[in-house]
């Protein structure tokens, strides 16, 4: 099942518009109650005006309540175009004037002199009533004045105001949504441009590993964009390294293969001369040995590049024993003109490392020293302790390496110009550097004060006492 792709644009729009919709809903609810309150209050004030105008004209004549309906009140009552208006003046539950059947059920809740309002039904219509109990000089009990109005105008006004509010909110929401869409579209345009850059690399020239253009990339997207550029840079470096490695490896392997093929051809053409046959076989054997050495070094370099070794997998071992074993492995078969010495000044030298890779480091350094030690060569290997470090030095009596070339010799297939015609492959020190970095071992090259050639120095941290012997191999 394919995962559902999420749209950043959709997510941003949703996050922007959902609060707008919620706010609009809140405004709508608040507006409804506000409009209803305003409409009721406005119309109630009109009713109160008529009510109080009538109440002010109450009088007592011959112990009877009378009222002189004012023109103001009559005008207010007669100007209602959509509503029917009713009034009642009563004393002692008997009508004085007006509509005698007007409902006064809630009049008992009124205080004398303060109007009250309530909704009721009169003659089949919903009405709004206002009533007041007024004390008049000359009678014992309050006189009741009531005014009722049907709700047509109120409801129409409220509906119209609510409709206008709804239209305004709808227009506002649509406007905000359109502006938000364009804003998000414009804001995400740099990301879209960045995506098109990446897509063009995917469907176009996959070898185009140039950095992406980050000029218009916003700060929020700069971290992943920079990480993408860093990855492209690593890919470009790895691709270039692989290209150089392939070219150099093919070049290095072409020479011994050509030598082997040439002498095999000589053997096939002229096999009568025993001396020529022996010389050709010797050259074939040397070429095969060189090719074998190159292949082994390439395999060692490939294993080191895999970076599968972790400090968590290191084991406790004695560096002094590892040095002695590397020297002993090279005593047999070593050229007769080379003297190889080994001096262990301190033991044990406990370290945490990988025994196979550590042996590869010592082996390559000793082989390199023997190879370039000269006609009457001398190689000295020494192991000692300096504070918290185990230090191993390998010196030779050869021509050495100029200071300007000492960093370059760690590059793959790099050969010192003065040695370019020698037997080396240019991989030995490169392997040493890769593995040393992997094993957290510091390695540097300088001139040997004792023998005059090259001195390689390795420094590895001494293992803590509690680690000694915990994982001894």
Q: Nearest CA to 54 among 102, 100, 115, 106? A: 115
Q: What is the pLDDT of residues 139-164, one digit of tens each?
A: 888 888 889 989 888 888 889 999 99
455 membership: H or E segment, kind and range: strand 454-461
65 membership: H or E segment, kind and range: strand 64-67
The stretch 353-358 carries a mean pLDDT of: 85
If you compute the radius of gyration of the chain from its CA atoms, what whole number of angstroms results?
Answer: 52
Q: Using CA atoms, how far apart are residues 122 and 44, in angstroms rounded to an integer? A: 17
Contact between residue 339 and residue 379 where contact means Cβ atoms under 8 Å apart? yes
Q: What is the pLDDT of residue 73?
A: 58
- Name the token pair of 383: 């192991």
Q: Is the per-residue pLDDT at 74 higher than 70?
A: no
- Name the token pair of 153: 């105008």
Q: What is the pLDDT of residues 81-118, one digit of tens each?
A: 667 888 888 888 888 888 888 887 777 666 677 888 89
Contact between residue 277 and residue 271 where contact means Cβ atoms under 8 Å apart? yes
Q: What is the pLDDT of residues 12-68, one digit of tens each?
A: 888 888 888 888 889 889 988 999 899 888 888 888 888 888 888 888 887 788 887
Q: What is the pLDDT of residue 220?
A: 65
Q: What is the pLDDT of residue 244?
A: 65
- Name the token pair of 140: 């014992």
Q: What is the pLDDT of residue 469?
A: 44
**Residue ranges of domains in the chain, CATH in brackets:** 9-159 (3.30.450), 219-304 (1.10.287.130), 311-467 (3.30.565.10)
The stretch 162-178 carries a mean pLDDT of: 90
Q: How confident is the model at residue 459 (pLDDT cuts 50, 70, 90)?
A: very high
Burial call 40-67: b when 16+ CB within 10 Å, e when fewer: beebbebbeebbbbbbeebeeeeeebeb
Tell me which range, 62-71, 367-376, 447-456, is most confidently predicted by mean pLDDT: 447-456
Q: What is the pLDDT of residue 318?
A: 92
Range with lowest mean pLDDT among 93-107, 161-175, 323-337, 415-429 = 415-429
Q: Nearest CA to 187 among 151, 146, 217? A: 217
Q: Using CA atoms, how far apart are residues 186 and 180, in angstroms rounded to an integer? A: 10
Q: What is the pLDDT of residue 332?
A: 72
The alpha carbon of 295 is separated from its chain's Cα centroid by a whole number of angstroms, namely 43
CB contact set of 460 (below 8 Å; sequence gap of 6+): 319, 351, 353, 389, 390, 392, 439, 440, 441, 442
**442-447 and 378-386 beta bridge pairing:** unpaired
* Percentage with pLDDT > 70 across the chain: 75
Helices (H), 270-318: 274-305
Q: What is the pLDDT of residue 391?
A: 94
- As beta bridge partners, residue 177 has none
Q: Using CA atoms, how far apart are residues 411 and 128, in angstroms rounded to an integer? A: 99
Q: What is the pLDDT of residue 381?
A: 93
Range with lowest mean pLDDT among 173-177, 250-254, 408-412, 455-459 = 250-254
Q: Using CA atoms, how far apart are residues 264 and 290, in angstroms rounded to an integer? A: 16
**116-122 and 94-98 beta bridge pairing:** unpaired
What are the two backbone dihedrals, phi and then psi, of residue 244, each rounded to the nearest 5 degrees? -65, -40
Q: Using CA atoms, how far apart are residues 354 and 304, in angstroms rounded to an integer? A: 12
Q: How confident is the model at residue 308 (pLDDT cuts 50, 70, 90)?
A: low
- Average pLDDT over the chain reads 79
Q: What is the pLDDT of residues 263-280, one digit of tens each?
A: 677 666 665 567 767 777
Range with lowest mean pLDDT among 290-299, 382-391, 408-417 = 290-299
Residues in the chain: 473
Q: How confident is the model at residue 380 (pLDDT cuts 50, 70, 90)?
A: very high
């Amino acid at each position: 099942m394919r995962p559902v792709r999420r749209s950043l644009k959709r997510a941003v729009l949703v996050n922007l518009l959902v609060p707008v919709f919620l706010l609009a809903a809140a405004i709508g609810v608040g507006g409804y109650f506000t409009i209803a309150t305003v409409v009721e209050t406005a119309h109630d004030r009109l009713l109160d005006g008529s009510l109080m105008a009538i109440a002010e004209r109450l009088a007592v004549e011959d112990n009877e309540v009378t009222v002189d309906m004012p023109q103001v009140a009559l005008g207010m009552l007669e100007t209602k175009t959509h509503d029917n208006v009713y009034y009642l003046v009563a004393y002692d539950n008997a009508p004085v004037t007006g509509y005698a059947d007007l409902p006064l059920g809630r009049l008992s809740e009124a205080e004398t002199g303060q109007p009250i309002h309530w909704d009721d039904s009169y003659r089949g219509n919903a009405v709004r009533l206002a009533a007041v109990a007024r004390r008049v000089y000359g009678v014992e009990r309050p006189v009741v004045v009531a005014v009722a109005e049907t709700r047509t105008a109120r409801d129409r006004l409220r509906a119209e105001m609510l409709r206008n509010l709804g239209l305004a909110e709808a227009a506002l929401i649509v406007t905000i949504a359109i502006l938000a869409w364009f804003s998000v579209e414009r804001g995400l345009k740099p990301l879209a441009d960045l995506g098109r850059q990446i897509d063009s690399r995917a469907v176009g020239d996959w070898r185009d590993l140039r950095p992406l253009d980050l000029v218009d990339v916003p700060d929020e997207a700069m971290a992943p964009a920079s990480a993408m550029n860093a990855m492209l840079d690593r890919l470009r470096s790895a691709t270039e390294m692989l290209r150089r490695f392939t070219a150099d490896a093919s070049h290095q392997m072409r020479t011994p293969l050509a030598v082997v093929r040439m002498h095999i051809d000589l053997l096939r053409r002229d096999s009568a001369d025993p001396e020529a046959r022996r010389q050709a076989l010797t050259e074939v054997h040397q070429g095969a040995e060189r090719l074998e050495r190159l292949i082994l070094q390439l395999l060692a370099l490939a294993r080191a590049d895999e970076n599968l070794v972790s400090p968590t997998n290191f084991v406790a071992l004695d560096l002094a024993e590892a040095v002695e074993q590397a020297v002993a492995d090279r005593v047999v078969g070593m050229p007769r003109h080379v003297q190889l010495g080994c001096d262990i000044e301190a033991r044990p030298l406990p370290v945490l490392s990988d025994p196979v890779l550590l042996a590869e480091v010592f082996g390559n350094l000793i082989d390199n020293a023997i190879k370039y030690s000269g006609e009457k060569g001398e190689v000295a290997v020494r192991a000692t302790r300096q504070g918290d470090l185990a230090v191993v030095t390998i010196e030779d009596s050869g021509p050495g390496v100029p200071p300007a070339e000492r960093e370059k010799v760690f590059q793959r297939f790099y050969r010192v110009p003065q040695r370019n015609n020698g037997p080396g492959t240019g991989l030995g020190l490169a392997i040493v550097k890769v593995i040393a970095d992997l094993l957290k071992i510091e390695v540097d090259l300088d001139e040997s004060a004792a023998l005059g050639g090259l001195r390689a120095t390795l420094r590895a941290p001494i293992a803590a006492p509690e680690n000694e012997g915990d994982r001894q191999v």
